[in-house]
Amino acid sequence: MDSDASSICSRSSSPDLVVDDSAGSFFSNKMFQTYCQEQRADREASHGRTERCAGGGKAKSRSELSKDEMQDLRLKVNSRERKRMHDLNQAMDGLREVMPYAQGPSVRKLSKISTLLLARNYILMLSSSLEEMKKLVGDVYGGSAAAQRRSSTHPRITTAAPTAHLPLHPMAQSLHSLVGSSTASPLQHHSPPPAPHSPPSASFLGFHAPVQGLLKDPLHLTSSYRHFPGMPCPCSLCQPLPATTSTLHSLSMNK
């Protein structure tokens, strides 16, 4: 192990602060990555030189490679793989940044599996919300048109009633008006108070008993169930997976 200079760049893709023991100083993730990239570039530059010297400009088959050349090749492959994984982690960080999840230096980073599961459920929730919004818009326009027709024949019936229920935030109303009758109290939360800045609950992420242990703390949520753009909530609408995607869920999660 550690045939490469990997110890230098260990955990380089972690966004946490990294302690450089030798220097006794702190590197931010970006600084540390830059540092690692410079180290790598130096190393690879020297590899390139040795390859050109050793190869003499003529390509060799792998069986013809000397021990040193094989090692250089191995280092190159390792370096590429490392870079690939760093890119993957960067993409994962990018995903974390757009997730409705508390972020900050005091917040534990979402694990990869949590990030993917949360992202998936977030997308499903947004899709569901979009569908409901479409339905609501259809109802409002269709309903008001019908009401206008009615009011022309029955002037005592006004069109004010539907709009009187419209709140400050249309999405919050549209979502909770749909589930309000089926939930005991929209302001009632699950029994354990949510720990601030903690990872989302397993049930919110969409997996169940076998992997409950993956995530111990509930999602940091506001004290009400009002929906806001980009912010999921644990109400009955957000919790269940849409029926049309449950099959996908079982397929993708039961690897």
* Binding site residues, DNA, CB under 7 A: 1-6, 9-14, 36, 59, 61-62, 74, 76-82, 84-86, 89, 109, 111-114, 213-216
Nearer to DNA, 3 or 152 (CB): 3
Q: What sign does the dihedral 192-194-199-201 (CA atoms) show?
A: positive
- Cβ 110 to DNA shortest distance, Å: 7
The values of phi and psi at residue 2, to 5°, are 55, 35
Q: CB of 143: closest distance to DNA in angstroms?
A: 47
The residue count of the chain comes to 255
Q: DSSP for 145-193?
A: HHHHHHHHH-TTS-SHHHHHT--SSHHHHHHHHHHTTTSS-TTPPPSSP
CB 75 within 8 A of CB 4: yes
Which residue intervals of the chain are DSSP H helices? 29-55, 67-97, 112-153, 160-164, 170-179, 202-205, 243-253
